[in-house]
Copies of this chain bind each other. A is one copy, B any other.
Amino acid sequence: MKRPEEAAQWLKARDHFLILTHVRPDGDTTGCAIALCLGLRSLGKDAWIWENPQFSPRFLPRMEGLLRRDTAENATIVAVDMATESLLPKGGEDFAGRFQLCIDHHPSNTFYAADTLLDASCAGCGELLYQVLTALEVEVTPAMAEAIYIAISTDTGCFRFSNTSAQTFATAAACVGHGADIAPINRQLFEIKTRGRLELESRMMAEMDFYCGGAVAICCLPQKLVEQLGVTEDDLDSISGFPRTIEGVLVGAVLRDSEPGRVKFSVRTAAGFNASAYCGALGGGGHAAAAGAAIDGTLEEGKARLLEILRRDKSLWK
């Protein structure tokens, strides 16, 4: 199906729904599930969210009374923000092949569901889901509006990323218009950091080495330190981007030795500098702005190798 109106018609013709979110659920898949579940219920439908065991505790209060764990033999199975069945939630493997509708915004969607509403122009799947609610003529409540807001703000880094479009802002305007109280959500999602993450950043600043008058920043993150700080994988999330948040840094790299005897490189670069070429020289690859590699050796050896490669880029050392 091509238009939200078709999905709305399809949903209106059915009465029992179970909504699935993807593995390691983020704000987009979770927010979409909440908004769709509440929207369908407001139309008198029987609708539930399958209880993803990895749902973030911060979102659970919004799902009270919406969750169930059984496989709901007779329900229509709908996936939100799930691009492929390889992203099935933990414990939800049995749903493979049973999806009747998928609502998604990933261009990589594999069309695993019997029907798919896909709009890759949406920054967050929540943008598309808002159009479905509108087409369903649902009276959008503050709870639905906040769920949609969580979805779109998550996938745009609070409207900072380049995927943010005029439609994204227009959807956010609609959410506030429908009564979403966004300031506490923004504080929870975009302002607060865990002590572990802040301590990690603090130690990374202390360990950061700068070259080229500050244009290159390299940080070695020993596994010993990670364990000592007791930081979680959540805390480590996006840490590769940290050196590039420092003013003047054009090439930022984080080196880790989480696997003994191996060094893993994460390189992030400004426009005009090719992370993929640097990592290619180390046997890795990726995109121009973000790439990775892994070699045998210690952190010190890895750093020396990387510096050697960076030194060959004349545009950096002028």
Assign chain A's interface to a size class: 35 or more
Question: Are A199 and B190 within 8 A (Cβ)?
Answer: no
**A183-B198 contact given A245-B191, A246-B193, A247-B192, CB 8 Å threshold:** no
Question: Are A159 and B187 within 8 A (Cβ)?
Answer: no
Give the residues in chain B near A198, CB-CB below 8 Å: 201, 205, 245-246
A198 to B246, CA, bound (A): 8
A303 to B138, CA, bound (A): 54
Question: Are B190 and A160 within 8 A (Cβ)?
Answer: yes
Give the residues in chain B near A205, CB-CB below 8 Å: 198-199, 201-202
Contact digits for A148-167, partner B, Cβ 8 Å, 1 yes 0 no = 00000000001111101111
Specify which of B176, B177, B193 is in contact with A245 (CB 8 Å cutoff).
B193
Question: Are B191 and A160 within 8 A (Cβ)?
Answer: yes
**Interface membership of A87, Cβ < 8 A:** no
Give the residues in chain B near A194, CB-CB below 8 Å: 246-247
| Chain B residue, CB-CB nearest to A271 | B184
Distance in Å: Cβ of A274 to nearest Cβ of chain B: 18
**Interface membership of A114, Cβ < 8 A:** no
Give the residues in chain B near A186, CB-CB below 8 Å: 159-161
**Interface membership of A174, Cβ < 8 A:** yes
A248 to B195, CA, bound (A): 9
Would you give 19 A-B contacts (Cβ < 8 Å), ordered by A? A159-B186, A160-B186, A160-B190, A162-B183, A164-B182, A165-B176, A166-B173, A168-B173, A169-B170, A169-B172, A169-B173, A170-B173, A192-B245, A193-B246, A193-B247, A195-B248, A198-B201, A199-B205, A202-B206
4 closest Cβ contacts across the A-B interface? Answer: A169-B173, A162-B183, A202-B205, A160-B186
Q: What would 15 more interface pairs be, CB under 8 Å, given A168-B173, A195-B210, A201-B201?
A: A158-B159, A158-B160, A160-B191, A161-B186, A164-B182, A169-B169, A170-B170, A193-B247, A194-B246, A195-B246, A198-B205, A198-B245, A198-B246, A202-B203, A202-B206
